[in-house]
Chain A
Amino acid sequence: MSGELAIRLRGVVKRYGEITAVAGLDLDVPVGTCVGLLGPNGAGKSTTMRMLTAQSIADEGELEVLGFQLPRDSKQARAQCGVVPQLDNLDVSLTVEQNLLVFAHLYRIGRQDRHAAIERSLELANLVDRRETRVDKLSGGMRRRLLIARALVHQPRLVLMDEPTVGLDPQVRQQLWALIDRLRYEGTTILMSTHYIEEAQRLADTVLIMSHGEGVARGKPADLVLEHAGREVLEVYGPPKRLAEVESEASASGLKTRRTGTSVSILGLDGRNGFDFEGERRQANLEDVFVLLTGEEIG
Chain B
Amino acid sequence: MATAARTAKIGRLERPALTGVLVREIVNFSSYWRAATFSSTVEPTIYLLAFGFGFGSLVSTINGYSYVEFVGTGTVATAVLFSSAFAAMFGTFVKYQFQRTYDAILAAPVDTEELVTAESIWIAVRAGVYGCVPMVVAIFFGLDPSWGMLTVPFIGFLTGLGWANFGIMTAGYAKAIENFNYIVSAVLTPLFLLAGTFFPLDGLPKWLQVLAELNPLHQCVELVRAAVLYGFEWNDLLRVGVLVVFALIMWRVAIHAMERKLID
Q: Do B24 and A102 touch (CB < 8 A)?
A: yes
Among A64, A81, A85, contact of B104 (Cβ-Cβ < 8 Å): A85
Pairs of residues from A and B, 9 with the lowest C-beta to C-beta distance, nearest first:
A67-B4, A106-B20, A89-B100, A83-B107, A79-B109, A106-B108, A105-B23, A105-B20, A89-B104
Among B17, B31, B107, B263, find the residue whose CB has the most chain A CB atoms closer than 10 A: B107
Interface pair B24/A91, CB less than 8 Å apart: yes
Would you give the shortest CB distance from A67 to chain B, in whole angstroms?
A: 3
Is the CB–CB distance between B7 and A79 below 8 Å? yes
Tell which of B27, B99, B107 touches A55, judged by Cβ atoms closer than 8 Å.
B107
Q: How far is the CB of B110 from chain A (nearest CB, A)?
A: 6
A55, A64, A93: the one contacting B262 at CB < 8 Å is A55
Q: Is B151 an interface residue when CB atoms closer than 8 A count as contact?
A: no
Residues in A with CB closer than 8 Å to B32 are 93
The interface on chain B, measured as residues whose beta carbon lies within 8 A of the other chain's beta carbons, has a size of: 34
Chain A residues closer than 8 Å to B19, beta-carbon distance: 105
Interfacial chain B residues near A101, Cβ < 8 Å: 23, 27
Which residues of B line the A interface, CB within 8 A? 1-7, 10, 16-17, 19-21, 23-24, 27-28, 31-32, 99-101, 103-111, 262-264
B263-A56 in contact (CB<8A): yes
Question: Which residues of A in the span 1-17 have a Cβ within 8 Å of any Cβ on B?
Answer: 1-2, 4-6, 8, 16
**Chain A residues near B24 (CB-CB < 8 A):** 91, 102, 105-106
User: Would B28 and A75 count as touching, CB distance under 8 A?
Assistant: no
B6 CB contact (under 8 Å) in A76, A78, A81:
A76
A103 interface hit (Cβ, 8 Å): yes
> How many residue pairs between the two chains, A and B, have CB atoms under 8 Å in the bound complex?
112
The answer to whether the Cβ of A92 comes within 8 Å of any Cβ in the partner chain is yes
User: Of B5, B20, B23, which contacts A80 at CB under 8 A?
Assistant: B5
Q: Given A5, A31, A53, A108, which contacts B107 in the complex, CB threshold below 8 Å? A: A53
Cβ 8 A contact of B100, one of A81, A87, A93:
A87
Question: Closest B-chain residue to A134, C-beta based?
Answer: B31
Q: Within A35-64, which residues are at the interface with B (CB < 8 Å)? A: 50, 53-57, 64
CB pair B2–A6 under 8 Å, yes or no, is: yes
Which secondary structure dominates where chain A touches chain B? loop
B106 and A93 form a contact (CB under 8 A)? no
Known contacts A57-B264, A76-B10, A91-B28; is A102 also within 8 Å of B23 by CB?
yes
- Can you sample 21 A-B contacts with CB below 8 Å? A8-B1, A16-B264, A53-B106, A56-B264, A67-B3, A67-B4, A75-B109, A75-B111, A79-B7, A83-B108, A85-B103, A87-B103, A89-B101, A89-B103, A89-B104, A91-B28, A91-B101, A94-B28, A105-B19, A105-B20, A106-B21
Q: Are A66 and B4 in contact (CB under 8 A)?
A: yes
B109 and A107 contact, CB distance less than 8 A: yes
Taking CB atoms, residues of chain A closer than 8 Å to B5 are: 66, 80, 157
Cα–Cα distance between A182 and B232 once the two chains are bound (Å): 66
Residues of B within 8 A of A103 (CB): 108
Is the CB–CB distance between B2 and A67 below 8 Å? yes
Q: Taking the complex as formed, is A98 at the interface, i.e. its CB lies under 8 A from any CB of chain B?
A: yes
Cα-based distance from A5 to B16 in the complex (angstroms): 28
Contact in complex: B106, A55 (CB < 8 Å): yes
Note all chain A residues with C-beta closer than 8 A to B17: 106
Please, which residues of chain A bring their CB within 8 A of the CB of B103? 55, 85, 87, 89
- Supposing A91-B101, A94-B27 touch, asked if A55 and B263 sit within 8 A by C-beta, the answer is yes
Asked if A177 is an interface residue, CB under 8 A from chain B, the answer is no
Q: With A2-B1, A75-B10, A89-B99 given, can you name 12 additional A-B contacts, CB distance below 8 Å?
A: A55-B103, A55-B106, A67-B3, A92-B99, A93-B31, A94-B27, A102-B23, A103-B108, A105-B20, A106-B110, A107-B109, A157-B2
Interface presence of A237 (CB below 8 A): no
For A67, list chain B residues within 8 Å (CB): 1-4
Q: Which residues of chain A come closer than 8 Å to B31, judged between CB atoms?
A: 93-94
Known interface pairs A53-B107, A55-B263, A106-B110; A1-B100 also in contact (CB < 8 Å): no
Chain A CB within 10 Å, residue with most, of B1, B23, B103: B1
Smallest CB gap from B100: residue in A: A89
Partner among B2, B21, B263 whose Cβ is within 8 Å of the Cβ of A54: B263
Nearest residue, chain A, Cβ from B25: A102
Cross-interface CB contact of B27 among A64, A85, A98, cutoff 8 Å: A98
Residues of chain B within 8 A of A108, CB atoms compared: 16, 20, 109
- B106's nearest neighbour on chain A, judged by CB, is A55
Nearest Cβ distance between residue A294 and chain B, in whole angstroms?
24
A2 and B1 CA atoms in complex are apart in Å by 6
Task: Give the residues in chain B near A92, CB-CB below 8 Å.
Answer: 99
With a CB–CB cut-off of 8 A, which chain B residues contact A80?
Answer: 5, 7
CB distance from B185 to the nearest CB of A (A): 31
| Nearest chain B CB to A191 CB, angstrom units | 13
Q: For B28, what are the chain A residues with a Cβ–Cβ distance below 8 Å?
A: 91, 93-94
* Residues on A with beta carbons closer than 8 Å to the beta carbon of B10: 73, 75-76, 79
